[in-house]
Amino acid sequence: MRKVFGSVRARAALGATLVVAVALVAAGIAVLQVLRSDLGDQARLKAQVDAREVASKIAAGAGYGSLKLDESVPVQVVDEDGRVRAVSEDLEAVKGTGSASVWPVAAVGESDDDTDDDDSGPGKVSSGEEYSDGSARVDGETADYVWAAVEATDTSGEDVTVYAGAPLATERGAVTTVRNAMLLGLPLLLVVVAAVTWLVTRRALRPVEGIRREMAAITASTDLARRVPEPGSHDEVARLARTTNETLTALEASVERQRAFVADASHELRSPVASLRTQLEVGAAHPELLDLGGAVEDVVRLQRLAADLLLLARLDAGERPTGETPVALDALVREELAQRVADRVPVRDGAAPVAVPGSRGQLAQVLGNLVDNAQRHARSGVRVTVRDEGRWAVLEVADDGAGVPEAERERIFERFVRLDDARSRDDGGAGLGLAIARDVAVRHGGTLAVRTAPEGGALFELRLPTGP
């Protein structure tokens, strides 16, 4: 049972059925109430018309014995003393009127068939009426009636009340018929709604099942090159399939980058480790041949490479800058360049006061990587400038070297990438400096791009937000 109602189709069919059931029950109750009210109004109107007809005869001077009340309409005329003055033929019992008696009582001096010739004044019929529910037995048959009571004054000035009844059997019969039809049709309609909802939902979710099966197959095979089927419709399921395929594409690219990163890192680590091992083995066998300076250089290079790889791993894991104190870029530039007095290529700076939020250590590494890269390619000098552009702080590092070809300006920011004429592995880096610089810039909410410098070489522009 839990498995059945755990499916979307079952829940959709059950929900639609419940909603339709509630709506139909509410509508059915409303229809029955309106039908009962309308038929009740018709019955009261008929009883009122019959009562006023008899009251009009009495007001016109007709005697109570000469009213000739038809047995098809139960009528009772009661005076203000509660005496029954006239009743319709075959009326055997009555409830809900002014008197329970069905035997007329003649007034003193009046005969049952006399016509009132008293000229004391014209009679009248009251403009209002009252209603009550009751019953009557006519010619041996008892039924429920609604009674209309109309007051009238005869020509002798006597006040009487005329009660005329209308049967309620028609109203109740119609209401019962409609109710039974609803009770019979409601379950059938709910079955139809549930079946249609089930089929429509099954058809709508069929592509989702195809997506699920393909995702299960991809998970089992770990083949990220596969894609889920995309339906030809333009609904939410089609958008889900497209988004899923886009996610798989991004995941495949990420995994490929990770594999390439691991392979390149292994290759880069193998070279200094092998060189260091060779030198140590030679030194162990022939101490006089040990190149201590070369060994130290390999250790330093290996240390820097390991630090770069660890930083990239942290950035890939989503590490964000944690520094809360604003970093003064102008002071950072001066401190970094003050340590480079003995570099091959001199560095000029023109730093305007500007501060940015972020990690001082990571920003110092970005600056160092950019200056190192510029010094490798510069012919005679490197220029570092910092300026404030309102919401942005801009740091530029320019050299007067050969520059970067336009086709290679995005590729140089990839990991372990060296341009053909850039440098050898020994006098250059591992190809991680620019990749680290761009990743750090992105983590700080900024950008890093390269274009042609006024000196003719490469100009790297780092833009960082001055606000959080």
* Residue-level pLDDT at 253: 83
CA distance 455 to 54: 120
DSSP H or E run through 201: helix 169-221
pLDDT at 268: 67
Chain position carrying tokens 């009770």: 183
Query: 144 has which bridge partners?
Result: 135
pLDDT tens digits, residue range 76-121? Answer: 999 988 899 999 988 889 999 989 998 988 655 555 455 544 555 6
Contact 347, 382 (CB under 8 A): yes
Given this model, what pLDDT does residue 45 score?
93
The two structure tokens encoding residue 90: 């075959």
Q: Where are the domains of the chain?
A: 14-174, 236-315, 321-465
For every residue of 73-125, which 3-state class applies, written as one string? CCEEEEECCCCEEEECCCEEEEECCCCCCCCCCCCCCCCCCCCCCCCCCCCEE
Q: CATH topology for 321-465?
A: Heat Shock Protein 90 (3.30.565)
Answer for the pair 86, 65: CB distance below 8 angstroms, yes or no. Answer: yes
The residue type at 356: V
| CA–CA dist 65, 257 (Å, integer) | 114
Q: Which CATH number fits domain 236-315: 3.40.50.450, 1.10.287.130, 3.90.1150.10, 1.10.10.10?
A: 1.10.287.130
* C-alpha of 303 from chain center: 52
Q: What pLDDT does 422 receive? A: 43
pTM over 0.75: no
The confidence score (pLDDT) of residue 251 equals 86
**Cα radius of gyration rounded to whole Å, the chain:** 52
Query: Are residues 186 and 24 in contact, defined by beta-carbon separation less than 8 angstroms?
Result: yes
Q: CA torsion sign, 300 to 301 to 307 to 311?
A: positive
Residue stretches of the chain with pLDDT short of 50:
1, 3, 112, 116-117, 421-428
Cα(202)–Cα(189) distance, rounded to whole angstroms? 20
- Do residues 162 and 152 make contact, with C-beta atoms less than 8 angstroms apart? yes
